Amino acid sequence: MALAQTTANQQAKSLDSVVVTGQFRPGTLRNSAYRVKVISSELIRARGVTDIGGLLNNELGYRFSNDYALGETDLNIMGMGGNNVKILLDGIPMVDRGSNKQSLSQIDINTIERIELVEGPMSVVYGTDALAGVINIITRKTKDKNQFNAYAKLQEESVGESYNFLDGNGLHQASLGGDGSFGNWRAGLNLSRNDFGGWKGQAPLRAKDMKPKEQWFGGVNVGYSKDNLSASYRLDYLNEDIYTPGKYNSNNNTALDADYITNRYTHQAQIDWRPTADWSWSTSVSFQDYKRRTETYLLDLAGGTKTPSLNEGEWDISTFRTLFGRSLATWRINNRLSWQPGIEYKRDATTGQRIEGNPVISDYAFFNSLEYQPTKKWLIRPGLRISHNSTYKAPPLIPSLNLKYSVNDNLDLRLSYARGFRAPALRELYFNFHDSNHDIVGNPHLQAEYSNSFNGSLSWQVKSSEKMQINAMAGAFYNAFSNRIDMAVGAGNVYTYFNISKYRTAGFTTEHRIHTKRLDASLGFSYIARYNEFHDSASLKETTGKKYAWSPELNSNISYLVPRIGVTAGLYYKFNGRLPVFAVGTNDNNEQIIYLSEMAAYHWADFTLTKTLFQSLTLQAGVKNIFNVTRIQNTLQGGGAHSSSGPSLMAYGRSGFAGIRYQFSSKHKNQ
Amino acid sequence: MRSFSLLALAALLTLASCSNDDDPIPVTPPSEGDSFTLNGGTGGSAAVNSVFVDFSAPKQDSAKRASWDLGLSAGSNFRVILNNTTSALARPLDKTDLNAVTAADTVGMVLAMNQAEPSADDFNMIDDIDGDLSKTRIAEVSATEGNNKVYILNRGIGGSTPARDWLKIRVLRNGNGYTIQYAPIAATSFQTVQVNKNDKYNFNYISFDGGAAVNVEPEKTNWDIEWTYSIYKTSFGTGDVPYNFSDLVAINYLAGVQAAEVLTSTVSYDAYTAANIASTTFSGSRWVIAGNWRVTGGPSGASSAGVKTDRFYVIKDANGNYYKLKFVSFIAADGGTRGKPEITFSLVKAAQ
């Protein structure tokens, strides 16, 4: 029955919920050496989101930005770019084309059971990119034996004020799936379509500020488990077409349209074996085949003809193939001491017109962690990773140390030091782009970037009873980066990659949560500093007088089950405070100066109403982006600099949505 | 083609024979305008030609960017310019005898620009970007021969120009002209080229390929704008650095041409008439047009690239004729062809 699921979800709210990210074995949030944040399936459903970005934009420290030209989104976590974030699907890293994390928008949200977020580096276990944090997306799997589930979902959403039923303008999501278990076997299937009609915004004639995008997802998974052995295989398929209508050239009645078509196959296989109570062994293998095709057509709008435009880069296929394997053993030496050694292998291969040659990068790593509990109150977890890379000089040693001290039954203190690193991406090393007047070349001499990170947090379980749970958390972090790889942008759209000096971030967060039978409410606050990366430059004149620029954020999620009518009302709010950004410009005396440009603050709120009928039919409706955010103003903060950075495109304005979901769940009586 | 040229030659000769003796030279009225596909030649974004346009003729002339090495000022000063269209670079040595310069003098010398990571220091290897002749890389040629230093010249690889060996060069005065001494770095003797100033031109050009004078730009009164690949400047976020650009448009600032950018939000191209001239602010700066007329789109996609349809230019030529100029297309994204931009121009007001 559907009840089983509900109960599990409610558990996810307490500190007793089970997490897997960075754990020796699945364990509770409370006992984890890391502070893990869980976005439960209940919250995912309640928010009525159609992709993971829509879910995370409400999290503290998460900021999203749009790429106008490509119709893609990048994220920034705790003041660090998306290239410092590791995206995992069931613990296995997702391939990305560049340093942006497109994979986040290329996962079917309907297949997700929960998302585990860890802030701070986890490079010892997860390797490159895991500096700012890890987003581990856990897929849904049948856990009970001899059970059968099926679901069908349809959601219709407006894009700002533009909407058309089922197709074209607006946002349309349809999803279908099922899974079942039979004896020792389980299997599942899913199919989804996301259709985004794009948004005109302020784009010139024919063009769109946000590009129309159609996605098809398909997935299949099978699993087998018996006694102390379990094995599973999973395949996820994505087809995505981002259509970019070209702007109209009134001089000669032409426009150039492009399609960016992505096909992505993600194969994952996993074997877990637990020969004795003290030994366990887990091996994951994945093969990812990512192909992105560009098609470009010249439209003669007067003559009504459409011909392929055949300039360099206009018809291109880029492929990224990644083979990944990780094997780790966990040995409980005694009650106080566990050891987890592991090996990891990764092979990245890429081709494409704009990629120099057919580069292949292989990465080998050995890592191990110890978990030592000298007393009940202490948990000490040192870790070390050694890696070798075929192309660039890999950082030789990546250490980490996590400490957890239980002050009492309700108060836990966590402290950690970790070194993080990010390998230069294939694109940063080998990307060549010559079809504009700017020759852009990858930089094969790039080195890995490093961070030294310090995190601390205090978790307090204020009250924990059957009826009510109250939790509070306060945390602080400091990250110092060196050798940071950055895409430098100048006038005239000039891009290239460098190991640009230093960067730092620091911040404080507090979170509070109350959970009762009907009410679930949270309130969080963060204050995050981004370093003035130009500060150390001798050739620039400092006008800001600041080494750090601070930005506040506040979020609150409130959901309440209204008695009698059985409707859950949810309000999901976030305040994104003004975001100062250091920049360089020229003043009246023609001097190069550092100045502050500030992105205005904005409020984001979604409101949803959810009603479940007959335990299987869920109706949902709501309003997203209540504050009607579209473009966020950037303003210059003195210094007399000459610079114009237009407003940043953030979203497409207030929209409404309605959805219906049917969920069938059966449990066989036998066995 | 050949028969056509012969025909044209015959016509010219006929004309020439008509304008005999004391007949006053007929003054041709300035053209009403035209549309041109600029002949950038092959190379696309690294088009091999620089193209000079004279609106009043109307005509276009093209010259291969790699066809010259030095431009010698034909004016009253003795200035020498490097080839900005191949991104040529030079550094001085503290020597005045070309034969005394050996490979040892170039050990450790950086005479290259990293396009991926240029530095503001690289400005020291090139002429003033804005064309200020008092700030050329090669110091003004001194009447005192002993003051003229040897320079090491990298003839430039900008815009797919094939790399050529470095040269050692030295420029001297020769009456009201120049003597250029040049040789490969390791050579123990050198060759010379003599150039007399021909003040019908801004510069008289030489090439080290043939060791002789070459024709590059038309006579200074016979061109208004130059479309070319060139070294220019940009900011990588930490201040200006030299940077190679395609599709740069320079005005003939040395001959007194001026230009203004007009936004169609002020007045449309079609509606712009002589009455609008008074409220248009003209500038004699070399790069008043530069690359402002187009968006290349950077590495990300086709949709933003193209000529900017929200602006056009008004050019005041050296004779005082006003033309309005519109860039129609220049890249696939706007229906054009890279390296062969389409322009259209029209007379706004003829000189009095």
B258-315: pLDDT as tens digits: 999 999 999 999 999 999 999 999 999 999 999 999 987 644 334 567 899 999 999 9
Q: Which is higher by pLDDT, A166 or A6?
A: A166
Interface check B298 vs A, CB under 8 A: yes
- Model confidence band, residue A103 (pLDDT cutoffs 50, 70, 90): confident
Q: In this structure, what is the dihedral angle of CA atoms B271, B277, B280, B284, given to the nearest 10 degrees?
A: 120
> Within an 8 Å CB–CB cutoff, is residue B191 touching chain A?
no
Tokens of A206: 């024919």
The stretch B209-224 carries a mean pLDDT of 95
Q: Is A67's CB within 8 Å of B300's CB?
A: yes
Give chain B positions within 8 Å (CB) of A260. Answer: 301
Question: What mean pLDDT comes out for the span A44-65?
Answer: 89
**How far apart are alpha carbons B167 and B191 in whole angstroms?**
11
Q: Does B155 touch chain A (CB under 8 A)?
A: no
**Nearest Cβ partner of A244 from B298, B302, B344?**
B302
pLDDT of residue A454: 94
Instruction: Tell me how far CA of residue B149 lies from CA of B97, B139, B326, in angstroms.
Output: 8, 8, 45
Of A60-69, A332-341, A633-642, which gets the smallest average pLDDT? Answer: A633-642
| Dist. CA A350–CA A344, nearest whole Å | 20
Q: If DSSP codes are grouped into helix, strand and coil, which group holds residue A273?
A: strand
Nearest Cα neighbor of A215 from A95, A350, A109, A90 is A109
pLDDT of residue B3: 45
Q: What pLDDT band is residue A429 in, cutting at 50, 70 and 90?
A: confident
Check residue A448 and give its pLDDT: 86
Three-state secondary structure of A46-95? HHCCCCHHHHHCCCCCEEEEEECCCCEEEEEECCEEHHHEEEEECCEECC
- The residue behind tokens 């062994």 is A281
Please tell me the predicted confidence (pLDDT) of residue A646.
Answer: 67
Whether B49 has its CB under 8 Å from any CB of chain A: the answer is: no
pLDDT at A4: 34
Report the pLDDT averaged over residues B52-64: 97
Q: Could you give the percent of chain B with pLDDT greater than 70?
A: 88
When mean pLDDT is compared across A333-337, A365-369, B330-334, the lowest value belongs to B330-334
Does the beta-carbon distance from A244 to B238 stay under 8 Å?
no
A590 against A200, higher pLDDT: A200
Task: Give yes or no for residue B180 having a pLDDT over 90.
Answer: yes
Backbone angles phi, psi at B7, to 5 degrees: -60, -45
- Report CA-CA distances (Å) from B254 to A41, A569, B200, B257: 71, 73, 12, 7
Residue A421 has pLDDT above 70, yes or no: yes
Which chain A residues have a beta carbon less than 8 Å from that of B45?
434-437
pLDDT at B254 over 80: yes
Residue A206 and residue B139: Cα distance in Å, rounded?
53
Length of chain A, in residues: 671
Residue A671 has pLDDT above 60, yes or no: no
The C-alpha atoms of residue A233 and residue A237 are separated, in whole angstroms, by 13
Give 3-state DSSP helix, strand, coil % of chain A, rounded to 5. 5, 60, 35
Q: Do A300 and B229 touch (CB under 8 A)?
A: no
pLDDT, one tens digit per residue, over A560-585 is 999 889 899 999 999 999 988 887 76
Closest in A70, A433, A491 to B235, CB measured: A491
Distance CA A479, CA B298 (A): 32
- Does A600 or A440 have the greater pLDDT score? A600
- pLDDT class of A534 with cuts at 50, 70, 90: confident
Residue A314 has what DSSP assignment?
A: T
Per-residue pLDDT reduced to its tens digit, A290-313 = 999 999 999 998 888 999 988 777
What percentage of chain A exceeds 90 in pLDDT?
A: 47
**DSSP output for B241-277:** EEEEEEEEEEE-GGGT-EEEEEETTTS-TTT--GGGG
Q: How far are the Cα atoms of A317, B74, B170, B172, B173 from residue B144, in angstroms, in the given order?
A: 62, 19, 13, 9, 9
Cross-chain Cβ contact B45/A298 below 8 Å:
no
- pLDDT, averaged across chain A: 85
In the prediction, which pLDDT does A564 show?
Answer: 87
The ipTM (two decimal places) reads: 0.70
- How much is the average pLDDT of A51-75? 82
Residue A466: pLDDT band (50, 70, 90) is confident
Kindly report the length of chain B. Answer: 352
Of the candidates B314, B315, B309, the residue with the CA atom closest to the CA atom of residue B295: B309
- For residue A493, what pLDDT is reported? 36
Are A519 and A559 in contact, with CB atoms under 8 Å apart?
Answer: yes
Whether pLDDT at B15 is above 60: no
Cis peptide before B58 (omega within 30 of 0): yes
Q: What percent of chain A has pLDDT over 70?
A: 89
Least CB–CB distance from A244: residue in B301, B306, B326: B301
**Buried b / exposed e across A448-467, counting CB within 10 Å, b at 16+?**
bbbbebebbbbbbbeeeeee
Selection from A368, A480, A507, A364 nearest residue A419 by Cα = A480
Residue A589: per-residue pLDDT: 66
Q: State the nearest Cα–Cα gap between B184 and chain A, in angstroms.
A: 30
- Judging contacts by C-beta atoms under 8 Å, the chain B residues touching residue A69 are 297-298, 300-304
* Strands in A245-278 per DSSP E: 254-273
Three-state secondary structure string covering A592-640: EEEEEEEECCEEEEEEEEEEEECCCEEEEEEEECCCCCCEECEEEECCC
* Element (DSSP H or E) covering residue A2: helix A2-11
- The single-letter DSSP state of residue A21 is T
Q: Which of A68, A433, A434, A436 to mutate to test the interface with B (most CBs of B within 10 A)?
A: A436
CB A638 within 8 A of CB A595: yes
Report residue A378's pLDDT band, with 50, 70 and 90 as the boundaries. Answer: very high
- CA torsion A351-A353-A356-A357 (nearest 10°) is 50
Determine which of A27-36, A154-163, A271-280 has the lowest per-residue pLDDT on average: A27-36
Answer whether residue B5 shows pLDDT above 80.
no
What is the secondary structure of B132-190 as a DSSP string? -GGG-SSPPPPSSGGG---EEEE---GGGPPP---EEEEEEEETTEEEEEEEETT-SS-
CA dist B141 and B76 (Å) reads: 12
Q: What is the pLDDT of residue A605?
A: 95
Report the range of poorest mean pLDDT among A476-485, A533-542, B95-104, B142-151: A533-542
As a whole number of angstroms, the distance between CA B169 and CA B72 comes to 14
pLDDT above 90 (res B226): yes
> At residue B4, does pLDDT exceed 70?
no
* Chain B residue closest in CA terms to A354: B299
Q: How far apart are CA A139 and CA A102, in angstroms?
A: 18
A252 φ/ψ angles, rounded to the nearest 5 degrees:
-140, 15
pLDDT band at residue A112, thresholds of 50, 70 and 90?
Answer: very high
Q: Is the pLDDT of residue A9 over 50?
A: no
Inter-residue contact A420 to A453 (CB < 8 Å): yes
A67: closest CA among A100, A113, A91, A89? A100
pLDDT confidence band for A619 (50 / 70 / 90): very high
Question: For residues A403 and A431, which has the higher predicted lDDT (pLDDT)?
Answer: A403
Contacts of B296 in chain A (CB under 8 A): 436-438, 492-493
Q: What integer is the mean pLDDT of A517-527? A: 94
Average pLDDT, integer, range A612-630: 92
Model confidence at A14, pLDDT cuts 50, 70, 90, reads: low
Asked if B332's CB is within 8 angstroms of A67's CB, the reply is: no
CB-CB neighbors (< 8 A) of B308 in chain A:
none
Across the strands, what pairs with A662?
A152, A617
Q: What is the mean pLDDT of residues A421-444?
A: 68
Nearest Cα residue in chain A from B343: A251
DSSP symbol at B290: B
Q: A204-208, B4-8, B125-129: which has the highest mean pLDDT?
A: B125-129
Question: Do residues A326 and A280 touch, judged by C-beta distance below 8 A?
Answer: no
DSSP alpha helices (H): ranges in B2-137? 2-18
Give me the pLDDT at residue B14, please: 45
Q: Do A338 and A329 form a contact (C-beta atoms < 8 A)?
A: no
Q: By C-alpha distance, which of B224, B214, B186 is closest to B98?
A: B186
Give the Cα separation of B348 and B352 in Å (integer).
12
Shortest distance, CA A364 to any CA of chain B (angstroms): 30
Dist CA A47 CA A42 (whole Å): 9
Per-residue confidence at A84, pLDDT binned at 50, 70, 90?
confident
Write out the H or E segment, with its range, that includes residue A9: helix A2-11
And the tokens for B250? 């320079």
Whether residues A490 and B234 touch (CB distance < 8 A) is answered with yes
Question: Distance between alpha carbon B150 and the CA centroid of its chain, in Å?
Answer: 25
